[in-house]
Structure 1
Amino acid sequence: MPDDIYVDALTTLRDGDPAEAADLLLRALRRQPGHAGIRRNLVRALVAAGRFAQALPHADAALAADPRDAELHFLRGTTLNALGFPTRACAAFHNAVMLKAEHAPSWLNWGNASADLDDLDAAEAMYRTALSFDPALPEAQASLGYVLTRQGRLPEAIKACNAALRSRPEMAEAHWNRAIALLLSGNLPAGFAAYEWRKRHPAYRGAFPPLPAPEWDGRALEGRTVLVRGEQGAGDAIHFARFLAAIRDRGGRPILACGPALVPVIGLMPGTQTCAWSESVPHDVWIDQMSLPFRLGITEASIPAAGGYLTADPVRVAAWAQQLGPGRHVGLALAGNPANPTNHRRSVPAALMRALPAIDRVRFVSLQHGSAARSLPLSDLTTALPDYAETAALIAALDLVISVDTSVAHLAGALGKPVWLLLPADPDWRWMLGRSDTPWYASMRLFRQDRRGDWAPLLERVFGELTTW
């Protein structure tokens, strides 16, 4: 009987299996399409199971039948934000709190949607309102820590994350947000220790499947082979390649598993073997690449190889130098990988990329890849740069690189090439705050936005300095 299916579905949902409950509720709804309770619980189950594309039409249908249901507005807003529609989500959360002002989760998720829109002041206000109704809500404390970090209010951010962890000590999101605030403040030992929680973060743990060999704990290796599992983006792999030498220093043989385009350039490091992620190579122990500074006990003062640790093929460098010809050549990379969810914050808008100034005795060269290369009024060299070894050779033939926070900047710094790095007002953790230099790369100079999202004054300053460089 349909009623039996509905009862089973509610029991399954209550027992913590929303995916199975959703399937049962879909069966029940097909038998009783007008049953408001079935549809309402179906929306709950689909949202809890993360099946947001399925949830949205059912939320719309349920609200058409009962537009004054605050929870349905909350569930619809949660669904919309998960599907990448934060503006519409904010409107749904507004409807929810108009109907039920004391519903802390609605204020929390409204804050999340506002943060996704980079409206950090609004997000902070929403999180604090959520906490006024539920002071122990750890998700609101952790999220408050996130927006305070982006605002550069690091002691407050760490305090908020600590409050979340007092309520829920195993909350990976709070540990992660705390790690970013600690690293951004320059406290590398505590920051990298907390950064280990990325492997348990719901958004990232799928990238860390278990491996059969033991994990390396930082001890002497006595000739053993260490598989270093690359992670995150190409810039991260380049940035943390400097730590491979420490494995050699401890008597080990490092093999870095990374993106295929990185294999040729990182493979030039002495005593280092590289392989593509998809390859299976024999090894005795393994470690995730971005766990190396934690295992090695790195502090700001002990960061290795700031002067550079990668090299370019001299034959390729000579070929590029001949192709470039005489004069001073400045490489430009003004946009990052569009697949990165924060790319819009770190990349220069296309309209500004097209407005390059003419500077005496300076010739600009595009280091941009893909569609963004077409925004620069320069020759698109994408097809001429099939991997990072070729890009390294071109960079080595240049006099200066100007880049946003993308892999090109890391590659230039790792080659010891002068590089001017253009940063948003809320930068990635590794660049810290309030400084124009970085302990990671001795040849790098940092230029920072004065106001969030405002690239024009920063570009004017950078190109102005280039006229006297």
Structure 2
Amino acid sequence: MEKISNSSNDDIINQANILLHQGKFEEALILLLPYKNDKFSLPIMTLIGIAYAGCKKPKEAAYHLFSAQQLKEKSYQHVCSELEPYLGSYNLYDVIFKVFKEAFKYQPEDELLYIAYANVLQHTKQSSKAILYIKKCLKFSKKEDWLLNILATIFFEAGKYPQAFKLYKDLEQRNPNNITVLANIASYYNAINDAEQALLYYCKVIMLNPLWPAIRVNYSLCLLKAQYYYQGWAEHEYRLDTPNHTNLPRETLLPTLTKTTDIKGKKILITQEEGLGDTLMYLRFVPELIQRGAIVELWVAETMKGLCERIKGNPIVKIGGEEAPPFDWHCPFISLPRVFSADPNKVKFKPYLTAARKKINFWKKQLPQTQNLKVGIVWGGSPHPSDAYAVMTDNKRSIDLQKLIPLFRSVKNATFISLQMGHHAHEINDLPKNISIFNPMNEVKDMDDTAAIIKNIDLVISVDTSVIHLAGGLGCKAILLDRYDNCWRWISGAEYSPWYPKTRIIRQTRPRIWSDVVQRAISILQEMADKHEPRTT
């Protein structure tokens, strides 16, 4: 293939990125290869390595990624770390591991390569092997404290809290002002619900580095978890200084409203920001803006459109786009509680979502016609391989469906209906043949369909995903199967959250251990099934 003379390297890199993210690895490779010898070709060599990996050629991939690594002047992360964001979405982890195996032949004593490998192992729930590789690295590396901090974090994410805490405290003794170690200790205390110690350590870090957005966000989450809502909402605005948030002008961000703030006739654009769960949770605030006379336009994901159009006050609803319409103020969904200085303990909850009547009637005919208790089930979230934090969160919150087999086998007079979409949905195919779960999700087009199904069943059981927010917003009964280090919105030590009073919480008593959660769910669900009175038509 001849080099295209009128295309710059930037154009080629952008085109290749699009192709790689689309899983068109061979096309990307054909595009990139003529440019591999260009000057300053670090991005080209990296993408060629990724393309070779996607084509299942680990030796060629490792060679080009090694070559790219040599071109780096300063290196804080090995280029092999780039494999997972591209290949993970296509579940090509077997190829990723083969590339690492080849890469170790080129760099048998490279700390960054060991760390990159340990990260992928950790993301794929192989924490014991990740720990082993960091320990191997410690044998030849002189960067002991740095690696021990990484080792402690792997212990922490794996739920091995005592081992993690001991290492963190040893590192703190050696360097009391290491902000990374202090931040990790704060996270540890927050995970075990010791708000006083967690906030103390976050404050230590902030005093040492007050403009670190990520730590200010973590501090805000700790405040919210401790139910210091007003301070928490204010601090949480620091997330706007981190990547992948709104690029709309900060000067037109909707301010905190008082009772006398006049927004009548003002055009307010509310934008999708992070996960669907956050959007579903904060839609509750939209009617109040409309009630105060604002003209509200919602920018949301396509799957949310129908639900949002039925919000009280009938806001304008559009699929989020690139160019913003004219507006007086804009507000990401996650800033809405700050706008209203929200404290869920001071407001009586009212359902704010509705399902479409036509869809309710349609799904009523599609679901099992049974007198049993109808239970919707969700066992997994949505991991994003390009976001390490999202992957680790999903590892903690999602349950391997096999671990729920005792629930399906033990509870009598209950019919289980899958509400699972996305990454974990295939697990239903691996259940024993004598386990029956009705699966309507191949016919589900959007959240509107899921809402209609929920309105036709008696209970939703879910891990911490958007579906638990959907059930909660609809005012339907739900049980949350929650991880030990719970998200702030599921009040620590409580069985119910004021955000969704009909949602019961069953939380792990030990990090990453689901067995006791399943046993308590069996007991609660059987009691509900025994008392169940079939719906009258």
When normalised by structure 1's length, the TM-score is 0.81
Which of 323, 334, 341 aligns to 1:297? It is: 341
The code of the aligned residue for 1:244 comes to V
Which of 510, 513, 532 aligns to 1:451? It is: 510
CA contact (8 A) 1:353 1:375 kept: no
3-state SS in 2 of match to 1:336: coil
The code of the aligned residue for 2:218 comes to N
CA distance in 2: counterparts of 1:382 and 1:207, whole angstroms: 31
- Equivalent residue number for residue 433 of structure 1: 492
**CA shift in 2, pair 1:118/1:22, >3 Å:** farther
- Equivalent residue number for residue 295 of structure 2: 253
- Equivalent residue number for residue 429 of structure 2: 374
CA distance in 2: counterparts of 1:359 and 1:39, whole angstroms: 56
- Equivalent residue number for residue 35 of structure 2: none
Which of 330, 342, 361 aligns to 1:286? It is: 330
**CA shift in 2, pair 1:247/1:231, >3 Å:** same
The code of the aligned residue for 1:389 comes to D
3-state SS in 2 of match to 1:422: strand
Gaps of 5+ in 1: 1-19, 27-37
CA contact (8 A) 2:404 2:518 kept: no
2:151 matched to 1:110? yes
CA contact (8 A) 1:186 1:300 kept: no
Which of 191, 194, 216 aligns to 2:254? It is: 216
3-state SS in 2 of match to 1:198: helix
- Equivalent residue number for residue 6 of structure 1: none
- Equivalent residue number for residue 330 of structure 1: 375
2:358 matched to 1:315? yes
Displacement of 1:222 in angstroms is: 2.1
Which of 177, 182, 186 aligns to 1:141? It is: 182
- Equivalent residue number for residue 116 of structure 2: 79
3-state SS in 2 of match to 1:380: coil
3-state SS in 2 of match to 1:141: helix
Which one is further off, 441-450 or 349-358? 349-358
The code of the aligned residue for 1:123 comes to A
Displacement of 1:410 in angstroms is: 0.8
CA distance in 2: counterparts of 1:261 and 1:267, whole angstroms: 12
Query: What is the CA deviation profile of residues 352-386 of structure 1, one whole-angstrom value per residue up to 9, with x for unaligned ones?
Result: 23441354443222212232443563122112211
**CA shift in 2, pair 1:51/1:457, >3 Å:** closer
CA distance in 2: counterparts of 1:212 and 1:39, whole angstroms: 38
Which of 517, 527, 535 aligns to 1:468? It is: 527
**CA shift in 2, pair 1:269/1:367, >3 Å:** same
CA distance in 2: counterparts of 1:148 and 1:227, whole angstroms: 37
- Equivalent residue number for residue 33 of structure 1: none
**CA shift in 2, pair 1:354/1:374, >3 Å:** farther
**Which fold has the larger relative contact order, with Cα–Cα distance below 8 Å and residues 6 or more apart in sequence?**
2
Matches within 5 A, 1:33-44: none
Gaps of 5+ in 2: 1-38, 46-66, 84-98, 385-389, 529-537
- Equivalent residue number for residue 533 of structure 2: none
**CA shift in 2, pair 1:462/1:295, >3 Å:** same
Query: What is the CA deviation profile of residues 91-136 of structure 1, one whole-angstrom value per residue up to 9, with x for unaligned ones?
Result: 4543555567784323222223333433333222222222222211
3-state SS in 2 of match to 1:47: coil
- Equivalent residue number for residue 155 of structure 1: 196
CA distance in 2: counterparts of 1:351 and 1:266, whole angstroms: 35
Which one is further off, 265-274 or 100-109? 100-109
- Equivalent residue number for residue 10 of structure 1: none
2:268 matched to 1:231? no
Which of 338, 342, 364 aligns to 2:416? It is: 364
Matches within 5 A, 1:118-197: 118-197=159-238
CA contact (8 A) 1:229 1:286 kept: yes
When normalised by structure 2's length, the TM-score is 0.71
CA distance in 2: counterparts of 1:78 and 1:450, whole angstroms: 30
CA distance in 2: counterparts of 1:59 and 1:160, whole angstroms: 39
CA distance in 2: counterparts of 1:331 and 1:89, whole angstroms: 36
CA contact (8 A) 2:121 2:129 kept: no
Displacement of 1:61 in angstroms is: 6.8
3-state SS in 1 of match to 2:193: coil
Displacement of 1:43 in angstroms is: 6.5
2:87 matched to 1:45? no
**CA shift in 2, pair 1:134/1:102, >3 Å:** farther
Which one is further off, 168-177 or 40-49? 40-49
CA distance in 2: counterparts of 1:40 and 1:334, whole angstroms: 39
Displacement of 1:46 in angstroms is: 3.1
Displacement of 1:422 in angstroms is: 1.1
**CA shift in 2, pair 1:192/1:22, >3 Å:** farther
CA contact (8 A) 1:431 1:438 kept: yes
The code of the aligned residue for 2:156 comes to A
Which of 402, 411, 414 aligns to 1:351? It is: 402
CA contact (8 A) 1:120 1:151 kept: no
3-state SS in 2 of match to 1:447: strand
Query: What is the CA deviation profile of residues 269-289 of structure 1, one whole-angstrom value per residue up to 9, with x for unaligned ones?
Result: 122222212364523121111
CA contact (8 A) 1:53 1:83 kept: no
3-state SS in 2 of match to 1:411: helix
CA distance in 2: counterparts of 1:197 and 1:164, whole angstroms: 15
3-state SS in 1 of match to 2:377: strand
**CA shift in 2, pair 1:460/1:40, >3 Å:** closer
* Percentage of pairs with the same residue: 21
3-state SS in 2 of match to 1:275: strand
3-state SS in 1 of match to 2:497: coil
**CA shift in 2, pair 1:151/1:468, >3 Å:** same
Which one is further off, 273-282 or 226-235? 273-282
Which one is further off, 181-190 or 43-52? 43-52
CA contact (8 A) 2:256 2:341 kept: no
3-state SS in 1 of match to 2:238: helix
**CA shift in 2, pair 1:162/1:207, >3 Å:** same
